Amino acid sequence: TYEADGLLAICIQHEMDHLMGKVFVEYLSPLKRNRIKTKLLKQKKDEEREAAH
């Protein structure tokens, strides 16, 4: 067992999440996750449109 706080605790948790196969979006609410997804899809669409010109 190891105790940490602050930035070190965040870094350790981040690495443990990687080892457990967990990504940060799993910590987000469904609403926030959908907002991000919508924004990324729009960005992709805009980039594809720009590349076509």
* 52 assigned to some structural domain: yes
User: Domain range for residue 41?
Assistant: 25-53
**Model confidence, pTM:** 0.59
Each residue's pLDDT tens digit, 12-49: 999 999 999 999 889 999 999 999 999 999 999 999 99
11 in a structural domain: no
How far apart are the C-alpha atoms of 16 and 13, rounded to whole Å? 5
The first and second tokens of residue 38, run together, are 């919508």
8 part of a folded domain? no
Cα angle: 23, vertex 26, 7; to 5 degrees: 60
Asked, for residue 46, whether it belongs to a domain, the answer is yes
- Residue 40: inside a domain: yes
Domain assignment present for 16:
no
From 15, 47, 48, 50, active-site residue: 15
Whether 3 has a pLDDT exceeding 90, the answer reads: yes
Q: Do the domain assignments include residue 53?
A: yes
Alpha carbons 23 and 53: distance in angstroms, whole number: 35
Is 15 an active-site residue?
yes
**Number of domains composing the chain:** 1
